[in-house]
Amino acid sequence: MGIIVNSNSSEPIYYQIYRQLKKTIENKEIKPDEQLPTERDLCIKLGVSRITIRKAIKDLKLEGLCYKKKGKGIFVSKEKIFLELETLMGTSNYITSLGMKIRTLVILKKIINSNIQLEEKLNLSKKSKILFLKRLRIIDDEPLIIENTRLSLDRMRGLEKFVFTGSLYKILREKFNFLPNYSKGFLIHKLADEENAKLLNIPLNYPIIRKQVVVYSKDNIPIEFITTDYRSDRFKFIFHEFCQ
């Protein structure tokens, strides 16, 4: 691994190291789950301070390219899963289409009363009944996604009786004739709280990506209000932009 530090460059030294380590990882010179050189070794080899090395490593960790094993060192993360922002295939179908295995654990299923936010998001009257689902998505034996879904029981009576360990959209399509057509929402970066850390098997305050959207039918009926938390080290989001 040939890292060269140029002290005469206007580019900060820590960033030079970060950039070259990133290239090394992306070129698979160090493979997923293999260990990076230790801070001490990098300090000696490059003639820089431990603070400089830690700053470079911190940026790699924030980008999800590596992770820390307590008492062992820094290791390269597994390759990221590419998720299309525009897809409405549903998580189960999309992950399966990538040739990966997915299974679902229903963490919580309960009927709740609507509040102002849910009434606005799902275009409901006051005191509507909502089905709330919290599901953990396990991909190739790794817990990677938490989904918090809210659906109107006024529109989909009896929905609470179904088992939700498979495709939710299949149930909505086949049993209630609701076809997802488009969605509106946003992505933000968050830090894992205690619940997310436990479910996703990550450290407390580990970076996660949160997607919050309302999914609509072709008739502009809001079908679902969903908040999804993704492990930042395992996903990369892609989108398609068309120019007219």
Residue 43, pLDDT > 60, answer yes
Task: State residue 61's pLDDT score.
Answer: 86
What is the rounded distance in angstroms from the CA atom of residue 106 to the CA atom of residue 114? 21
Give the CATH number for residue 55.
Answer: 1.10.10.10
Q: How many CB atoms lie within 10 A of CB 122?
A: 21
Same domain, 185 and 97: yes
Same domain, 107 and 207: yes
**Residue range of the domain that includes 211:** 81-238
Same domain, 46 and 134: no
User: pLDDT digits over 136-161, tens only?
Assistant: 999 999 999 999 999 999 999 999 99
Same domain, 95 and 211: yes
The residue out of 51, 76, 101 marking a domain boundary is 76
Same domain, 87 and 175: yes
Same domain, 97 and 22: no
Total of domains in the chain: 2
Same domain, 109 and 217: yes
Residue at 127 is within a domain = yes
Bridge-based pairing state of the strands 102-113 and 81-84: unpaired
Same domain, 109 and 220: yes
The residue out of 76, 97, 119 marking a domain boundary is 76
Residue at 4 is within a domain = no
Same domain, 119 and 31: no
Ramachandran sector of residue 163 (left: φ over 0; alpha: ψ -120 to 50; beta: rest): beta
Average pLDDT, the chain: 90
Same domain, 68 and 85: no
Task: State residue 51's pLDDT score.
Answer: 95
Residue at 53 is within a domain = yes
User: pLDDT digits over 188-242, tens only?
Assistant: 999 999 999 999 998 898 889 999 999 999 999 999 999 999 998 888 877 765 5
The residue out of 45, 76, 107 marking a domain boundary is 76
Residue at 244 is within a domain = no
Task: State residue 67's pLDDT score.
Answer: 82
Residue at 3 is within a domain = no
User: pLDDT digits over 76-117, tens only?
Assistant: 988 888 887 767 777 888 888 888 899 999 999 999 999 999
Residue 2 banded pLDDT, cuts 50, 70, 90: confident
What's this model's pTM, rounded to 2 decimal places? 0.77
Residue at 72 is within a domain = yes
Give the CATH number for residue 167.
Answer: 3.40.1410.10
Residue 133, pLDDT > 60, answer yes
Task: State residue 240's pLDDT score.
Answer: 61
Residue at 101 is within a domain = yes
Same domain, 111 and 207: yes
Same domain, 60 and 25: yes
Measured at the alpha carbon of residue 16, what is the angle toward residues 11 and 20, in degrees to the nearest 5? 150
Residue at 1 is within a domain = no
